[in-house]
Amino acid sequence: MPLLGVNIDHVATLRQARQGKEPDPVHAAVAAESAGADCITVHLREDRRHIQDRDVDVLRQMVSTRLNLEMSVSEEITDFAVRILPDQATLVPERRQEVTTEGGLDVIAHCDRVTACCKRVSEAGIVVSLFIDPEPEQLRRSADIGVPAVELHTGSYADAKPGAAQQRELKRLHRAAELAAELGLVLNLGHGLDYRNVIPVAQLPGANELNIGHSIIARSITVGLQQAVREMKSLISR
């Protein structure tokens, strides 16, 4: 059964709406871990729209499972990562205008920058994962770069209309999962996963970890964060 990484960016989004102290993503991380989260994920964006440097600093000390830092390949953020030393760094594309990470990192178009960032981050002892679209060429180039892991972008599957379109996207993920295994890449998946669409993704061959944020934090408003995490854990372990 896959592990569950809980992305707590949205807790910080709510705090930043008032530029105050509450809710604190560190408290959310502790609650998520106590309910069974296997990993805490945060994205330190270049524009610092939600997670702040200090959050990552404190999370590094508080997280008792694993800390996965989503990050762009920029020099400033790479410097930060090698100073803080998260357990894992997931390299993502970043555009300032986007609402959330909209597509996978194009590791072919940006091969030199991605390779340079991977080298610095992995030399610091951090496990590197590349957030890519479920495309064979992206997987092959990721393996060529030498990273141990990828995270497949599940957004197209999550956005597809239930039925034939969604099945097509699931098949695409399935083929990508098989190729990841052939290439010896650890397989993580995430983006847009929720309580309705997660089960087939959790059952993909070799799925190691699912990174889920929005749906868990949204559900926590009505049932509490621990219950929301427990429900998601129970779905992915079916």
Altogether, the residues listed in the chain come to a count of 238
Q: Hey, is 6 helix, strand or coil?
A: strand
Catalytic choice (10, 50, 153, 191): 191
Rg (CA), the chain: 17
Nearer to ligand PXP, 164 or 222 (CB): 222
Question: Which H or E run contains 40?
Answer: strand 39-43
Q: Which two tokens stand for residue 214?
A: 């929005």
Residues near ligand PXP (CB under 6 A) are 7, 9, 43, 70, 90, 92, 100-101, 131, 151, 190-193, 211-215
Minimum CB–partner distance for residue 219 and ligand PXP (Å): 11
- C-alpha count within 13 angstroms, C-beta hemisphere, residue 138: 23
Q: 146-166 as b/e, with b when 16 or more CB fall inside 10 Å?
A: ebebbbbbbbbbbebeeeeeb
> Given the complex with ligand PXP, which of 55 and 151 has the nearer CB atom?
151
Amino acid at 49: R
* Active-site residue, 110 included: no
Closest approach, Cβ 192 to ligand PXP, in A, equals 5
Which residue in the list 10, 33, 43, 151 is annotated as catalytic? Answer: 43
- Residue whose CB is less far from ligand PXP, 65 or 101: 101
- Closest approach of ligand PXP to the CB of residue 9, in Å: 6
Residue 233 Cβ vs ligand PXP, minimum distance, rounded to whole Å: 15
CB atoms within 10 A of CB 86: 27
174 carries an active-site annotation: no
Instruction: Note if 27 is an active site residue.
Output: no
Cα separation, 44 vs 102, in Å, equals 16
- From 70, 94, 169, 209, the catalytic residue: 70
Q: Which residues are catalytic?
A: 43, 70, 191
